[in-house]
Structure 1
Amino acid sequence: MAVLQGSLLDLADGIEVRPLGATVTRRDLTHGAWVDQRTAWVGGADELYEALRRDVPWFAERRQMYDSIVDVPRLLSFYGEGDPLPHLALEECRDALSAHYAAELGEPFVTAGLCLYRDGQDSVAWHGDRIGRSREQDTMVAILSVGSPRDLLLRPREGGESVRVPAGHGDLVVMGGSCQRTWDHCVPKTARSVGPRISIQFRVRGVR
């Protein structure tokens, strides 16, 4: 089992959700899509990783793939609207995101999907979050990463150059505009020796 290597740059005394505001940088993509980043948004992220790894009711999922039923290569947990989140820091993150993006988004983030990538063989294939109204409407998906960094890749659905975004140790990535409709994203497998990572995806009502 891969072991988390802590970040020497995370000097926070306990878990700390830091300000957003001007610390968020935006990269415009094509077709009205964009990606925001805020590195080291959550201080003490390794401590938060350990708490989530221990306390979240992780489950393995199996899905139909052509003629076979296969294991989903990561562990999962989901918190719907109104469900208490597994750590107070995640509630603080959700509320801070809702406040920061209120003018653009017009509604709060209400759900949280968690994925545990245990090692480099755990992954998620190319996809867009297009279940529900995000198939035809712009929305946002905010991802907090704790644990070891893994690359998030994005590419336009019509073809073109991909964008690589490293994320871990408390980093925030927000995909917005038309990103879920016009771009796909993935976390690819890697042969490199990497530690475990947990991603927390905050979404609005009616988007999966």
Structure 2
Amino acid sequence: MLQPSLLDLSEAPAVGDVRRGRVRHPLAEGAWIDLRRGWLGGSDVLFDALATTVDWRAERRQMYDAVVDVPRLTRFYGGGEELPHPVLEECRVVLNESYGGELGEDFVTVGLCLYRGGRDSVAWHGDRVGRSRTQDTMVAIVSVGEPRPLMLRPRGGGSSIAVPLGHGDLIVMGGSCQRTWDHCIPKTERPVGPRISIQFRPQGVL
């Protein structure tokens, strides 16, 4: 069950100013992350709407000698596809206004992941399918629902960084981050409510 945030009691989702309160954290090898806490007001309302109206899809994946369930539910929206809530389009417009000049192109696709509890997770990876395998790019993630730590570490191993995200927080991973760093959402044994990750990417970046 989602525990509402006492700091975000807005009755409707509202997109904030990205630049107000945004902090950029340089990483190694030309990578960086931007953090904007509480960027999306009314995020718990958006969580409830997405959790109940999106046609979530359960995926299965080859893992060594077996086909296993992917431990989260997903939904991907390509460019031109109608999004499940109008505030997602507002987010994309504001992100493009804020980052389009630096990125050199727009965020186009929107991916959703529903982590139903602590057993749902995503393993270490970088978004390196497509152009991001060889080119610097950006991936913007808005987190709604219960906070979960997004872990980052240099590709190939090394000390990790934990960035708790939830209740409307925005993280933008830029520069070489997808090529030179990995990230994950680890499983946890402690009781934790559901979370939805909303990912905005340029066309051809997965």
Give yes or no for TM over 0.5.
Answer: yes
- Give distance in 1, aligned partners of 2:158 and 2:42: 37
Q: Which of the numbers 155, 161, 164 marks the counterpart of 1:163?
A: 161
Q: Which of the numbers 5, 22, 26 marks the counterpart of 1:24?
A: 22
| 2:123 aligned counterpart, secondary structure | strand
Range that drifts further, 166-175 or 5-14: 5-14
- Code of the residue aligned with 1:74 in structure 2: it is R
Range that drifts further, 43-52 or 6-15: 6-15
- Code of the residue aligned with 1:91 in structure 2: it is E
Instruction: Give the corresponding residue for 1:153.
Output: 151
Q: Which runs of 5+ in 2 are unaligned?
A: none
Instruction: Give the corresponding residue for 1:185.
Output: 183
Q: Which of the numbers 101, 107, 110 marks the counterpart of 1:109?
A: 107
- Please provide the CA RMSD for this pair: 0.8
Instruction: Give the corresponding residue for 1:74.
Output: 72
Instruction: Give the corresponding residue for 2:117.
Output: 119
Q: Which of the numbers 132, 135, 139 marks the counterpart of 2:133?
A: 135
| 2:158 aligned counterpart, secondary structure | coil
- Give distance in 2, aligned partners of 1:96 and 1:176: 17
- Give distance in 1, aligned partners of 2:93 and 2:74: 22
Alpha-carbon deviations, 1:96-137, whole Å to 9, x = none?
101100121011100001000000000000000000010000
Q: Which of the numbers 57, 74, 77 marks the counterpart of 1:59?
A: 57
Alpha-carbon deviations, 1:50-90, whole Å to 9, x = none?
00001111010000000000000000000001111110100
Alpha-carbon deviations, 1:18-50, whole Å to 9, x = none?
111242110000000001000111111000000
| 2:49 aligned counterpart, secondary structure | helix
- Give distance in 1, aligned partners of 2:101 and 2:64: 43
Following superposition, the deviation at residue 202 of structure 1 comes to: 0.4
Q: Which of the numbers 3, 6, 10 marks the counterpart of 1:5?
A: 3
| 2:55 aligned counterpart, secondary structure | coil
| Aligned sequence identity (%) | 66
- Give distance in 2, aligned partners of 1:95 and 1:5: 29
Range that drifts further, 195-204 or 8-17: 8-17
Following superposition, the deviation at residue 12 of structure 1 comes to: 2.1
Instruction: Give the corresponding residue for 1:144.
Output: 142
- Code of the residue aligned with 2:32 in structure 1: it is W
Q: Which runs of 5+ in 1 are unaligned?
A: none
TM-score (norm 2): 0.98
Following superposition, the deviation at residue 158 of structure 1 comes to: 3.4
Q: Which runs of 4+ in 1 moved over 2 A?
A: none
Following superposition, the deviation at residue 11 of structure 1 comes to: 2.8
- Give distance in 1, aligned partners of 2:13 and 2:60: 34
- Give distance in 2, aligned partners of 1:137 and 1:29: 17
